[in-house]
Structures are given as C-alpha cells and as structure tokens.
Structure 1
Amino acid sequence: MRYEGTIYRPPGERHSYLLQATVGCSHNACTFCGMYKDKVFHVRPTADILEDIRMAKAYYGDLTRVFLCDGDAIGMPTEDLLRILRALYEAFPSLQKVGIYAGPCSTLRKTPEELRALRKAGLTRAYLGVETGSDTLLRQIGKGVDGAQMLRAGVMLREAGLDLWAMVLLGLAGSGAGLDHAGATTELINRMKPRHLSLLTLVLEPGTRLYADWREGRFVPCGPEEILEEVRYLVANLTVDPLHFTCDHASNYLPLKGTLSEERERFLAAIDAALEGKRKIRPEFSRRV
C-alpha cells in the first residue's frame, strides 16, 4: 500500500486496513499535538485512492474493516468520500465497518444531510478529539472551536447515525486546574452522548508549543495523583448509559476498560486503591503516546 509520512490510527482500528484519503491534518494547530508535523495537509487525488483500493483487493482479497486516514479525512469533499465508500463496499463484500477521524471544524462544515448520506453509504464510526469541555482550555490549546461548537459537532455525527467515539485528554489543564477541566468535560460528554469514550493522558511532546511552555515555566504538568482525581471525577459523574469506557492507553497511569454505568463501582474502587497507594500505577518512564 502507498502512504505519505507517518501514519496514525486509533487503538480500536488495529485490525483495520488503513486507507490514506487525506495527508496530514487540516487544522494541525493544537498546542499539545506532535502528530502530522512531517506533512502539509492535502487531499489525495481520488483516482489514486481508488487505485489503492484495487491494490488492497489484489493483496487481501476481502476485508471486514477499513479506517480512512489521516487526521481529518472527514474534511474531504463529500462527493469524493461517497465515491470512495462505494468503491470500498464493491471491492470488499465482507466489509462491515469504515471509520474516520472527524475534526470538529471539518465536521461543522458538513451539513446534516451530507453526514447522513455518508452514513447511508457505509461510513460507520467517527472518532472526535474532544480533549476538554472547557471553553478557556479549548482556546488555550488552539482547538479552533469552543465547547458549544464541539458539542454541536459531536451531536451532528451521532444524529447522522454514526457510531461516535469521543476522546478526552487528561492533564491538559496543568497542575491545580484538573478538576475544573474534568467538570466541564463531564458536562459536555453527558450532553454529547457518545457511544464510546477514551481517556488519554497528556505526554509532553518535544517540538510542540505546550512542550515549550513547560520548558520555559509557563505550564506545570499534573502529577499522577491529580490525573487519577480527574479520572475519578469523570467515572463518578458520567451519566451516558451505556458507555463503552476505555482508559487503557499506554499514556494512562491506571488501565481501566469496561462499560459505564455497569462497572462504575469497580472503576472507583480501583482508582481509590491507586490513590491510597494500594495498587500500582504505570511508572512514568513507560508511558508513551
């Protein structure tokens, strides 16, 4: 298969064929993110993408899952995405799921009718990097939207029938402000009502603006206890039910995975044990993005 630059995908797409539809991220301005810095965003020619599908057909024969890269493929022209989806389902008779990263700005540029057309054509799952529900923090990290716009993007995706997977970044507010971040984020997620929620923990990446802020004393990272308190607040106060909840990314101090509200008490007991020093957490040196 043909790819430009470093390729990223959600952990849940580890068994998917990765089809690069766009190169890079159309926004690519978040202060914490070190991804796609080796690329200039552009949409690949549709003819090249269709040729890649033919190549994948010749190599794999049949597939059940596909993920459309890169970081914001939802921003492609809708007609091009529809053409790609038709080609995928024609090439792979067993295809069941097609996922995509959906940036909030690009999502908001779509109409509800366009999103419904994409779902009808076979786009099944959208991953939305919510990061936080705080307007102040969204502005500080350069996300390009406020909380109301982020909420609208998520609701648009969900109401179009897409399987919405939201992602939140623990520790983003820095030391001393974590519970404000957790509170605003919990409120947003409860209103957005995604089917899946993943918590990741901030890892400062060299070359990012947030890394520079840390080195120059403008940002103080949260310690493990503060991160666990953020997780605890979210687990205790999320009301979306059922919610597929994951906090088991390599960046997290305490791996948790299951369904809320069904496993709320188990999660809270594990977090409390970690806070009390009765349960080991992942050491700092082993945390990776």
Structure 2
Amino acid sequence: MFYEGRIYRPPSEAKSIILQITVGCQHNACTFCTMYKDKSFRIKSHTEINDIIAKALVHDSDAERIFLADGDAIAVDSLMLVEILDQLYEKFPRLKRVGIYGGPKDILAKSPQELADLKAHGLTIVYLGVESGNAEILSSVCKGVTPEQMIAAGQKLKASGLTQSCTVIIGLGGKVLSNEHACDTARVISAIDPDFLGALTLMVEAEAPLAKNIERGTFQLLSPLESLTELRALLGQLNVTHCVFRSNHASNYLPLRATLPDDRSNLLQTIDKVLQNQALEQLRPEWWRGL
C-alpha cells in the first residue's frame, strides 16, 4: 500500500491494516516528538480515501482490524468519518475493530453526540497521548492543553462509550520535575479512568527540539533506576476502576504487564526488587531500547 512519509501506529495495532486517511499531525508542536515533522497536515479527499480502501481490499479483504492514521485522524469531520466507517464495515465482512489516534484538542472539538455516533458506526478504540498530568511540563513540551483540558477530553471519550487507551511518558519532566510528573499524571489518569494505559520511557532523538535543552544542560534525563522510581510513584497513586497496564514498549527499561488495581501489589513488588537490589542487569540496555 502507498503511504505518504513514515507511518506510525500504536503497538497494539501491529496486526491491523493501516489506512492513512490524514497526513501528519495537526498539532505537530510537541518538543519531544519528531514523528511528523517532515509532513504538513492535511485530510485526504474522498477520492484518495476510496482508492486507499480499494487497495486495502486487494491486500486483505478478510481483515479483522483497521487503524486510521496519521497522528490525529479523529480531526476529520465526523460525518466523513461515519461514511468511512460505514464503508469499511460494508466492504470488510470480518472487520471487528477500528482504531484511531485522537489529539485532546480534536476530541474536545467534537460534541458528545458526534463521539457517540462514531461509536455507533463502529469506531472501537481511541488512543490519547496524555504524556503528563503536570501543567508546567505540558506547557514546556508544547502539548497545547492544560491538565484539566486533558481530563475533559478523556472523560468525554469515556462518556461516549468508546474504548480508550492513554499513553504517558516516564521522564518527561526530567530530574527537576520527576516527582511532580508522577503525582500529577496519576491524578489525571485517575480522573480519566481509561480502559488501557501504556507507559513509555522518554527517548529524545537528535532532531527533537527537546534535544537542545539536553545539550544546554537545562533538561536532565533520568537514569534507568530513576525512571523506575518515577513509574513506581505514578502506579502507587493511580485510582482506576479496571485498567490494563503495559510498559513493554521498546523504550522501557523494565517490561511490565498488569491489570489495575488487581495486580498493583505484585507490580510494585517487582519494581521494588529491582530498585532495592539496584539490579541493572535486569533492565533493558540502552542499545536495545527504541522508539
């Protein structure tokens, strides 16, 4: 299939057909991110999308999962998204799930009825990059929203009945704001109460604007054990109803899987054993980490 530029998807969409209905990211200002810096955001035309769907049918007409890219494809007009969803379920007889990235500003721009309609027409899961719950950090990385706006976006998705997967980034506050990052992010995630939560660990590519702060010494990356300490603080303060937690992304030092709150004690004990023994040999080495 033809894609414009490099394509990104959540790890859980590895077996999905990727349909690029938008190009790039409408916000595209986060200082830690280089994913869409080489693209200008645009929504593809009906003709282009029809052509993409036709090619996908040739590729795998029995597809059960489809992911709509790029960075915040939920920015597409809701009526157009409904048309796309209807077409997908009509043409892919075995289709069970359609996922999409959703930026917080684009989620807030949609009415509760629009989100409910998207669910009714087969949108299944929305991926929301929370990154941090701390106001100073969100501002410094140019996320474009406040913690309260992030909560409002998450709760709006929750009320619609859409499955929601949130992502946070361990280490995004550096050494100076590590504790605040953990505490405030736990508060925001608890208020959203998502179905899924993924924790990545900060990795900064040379092209990212944040890299300049690291070079100047105004931002200090956490060590592996400091990252685990921050993750432990976040998990220890979470108050969620039923959330599947994963920190098994390639960026993480210690792969973890759990269902919260049921597995919290075992999860914290696993982290504590590494921290107490300073067992660096149990952690993923730097050369093995990736984005």
- TM-score of the alignment, normalized to the shorter chain, above 0.5: yes
Q: 2-side partners of 1:150 and 1:241: how far apart?
A: 19
Q: 2-side partners of 1:5 and 1:124: how far apart?
A: 26
How far 1:176 sits from its partner (Å)?
A: 3.4
Gaps of 5+ in 2: none
Q: 2-side partners of 1:230 and 1:153: how far apart?
A: 25
How far 1:217 sits from its partner (Å)?
A: 1.6
How far 1:58 sits from its partner (Å)?
A: 2.5
Q: 2-side partners of 1:243 and 1:4: how far apart?
A: 34
Post-superposition Cα deviations, 1:216-273, rounded to whole Å, max 9, x if no partner, equal 2221111112111111112222121321000111101111012112211221111111
* Match of residue 154 from structure 1: 154
How far 1:61 sits from its partner (Å)?
A: 2.1
Structure 2 length as normaliser, TM-score? Answer: 0.97
Kindly report the root-mean-square deviation, in angstroms, between the aligned alpha carbons of the 2 structures.
Answer: 1.1
Post-superposition Cα deviations, 1:90-149, rounded to whole Å, max 9, x if no partner, equal 011111110000001111111111111111110010000000111111111100000010
Q: For residues 10-159 of structure 1, what are the structure 2 equivalents within 5 Å? A: 10-159=10-159
Secondary structure of the equivalent of 1:130?
strand
CA contact (8 A) 2:175 2:220 kept: yes
Post-superposition Cα deviations, 1:17-62, rounded to whole Å, max 9, x if no partner, equal 0000100000000010010112111011122112211221123122
Q: For residues 150-189 of structure 1, what are the structure 2 equivalents within 5 Å? A: 150-189=150-189
* Match of residue 202 from structure 1: 202
Structure 1 length as normaliser, TM-score? Answer: 0.97
Q: 1-side partners of 2:58 and 2:228: how far apart?
A: 47
Q: 1-side partners of 2:111 and 2:141: how far apart?
A: 26
What is the identity, as a one-letter code, of the residue corresponding to 1:181? H
CA contact (8 A) 1:247 1:255 kept: yes
Q: 2-side partners of 1:208 and 1:215: how far apart?
A: 12
Q: 2-side partners of 1:172 and 1:259: how far apart?
A: 24
How far 1:6 sits from its partner (Å)?
A: 0.3
**How many residues were matched structurally?**
289
CA contact (8 A) 2:225 2:278 kept: no
Q: 1-side partners of 2:59 and 2:182: how far apart?
A: 45
The runs of 4+ residues in structure 1 deviating greater than 4 Å are: none
Q: 2-side partners of 1:6 and 1:214: how far apart?
A: 26
* Match of residue 287 from structure 1: 289
Q: Is 1:269–2:269 an aligned residue pair?
A: yes
CA contact (8 A) 1:31 1:209 kept: yes
Secondary structure of the equivalent of 2:85?
helix
How far 1:210 sits from its partner (Å)?
A: 0.5
What is the identity, as a one-letter code, of the residue corresponding to 1:141? V
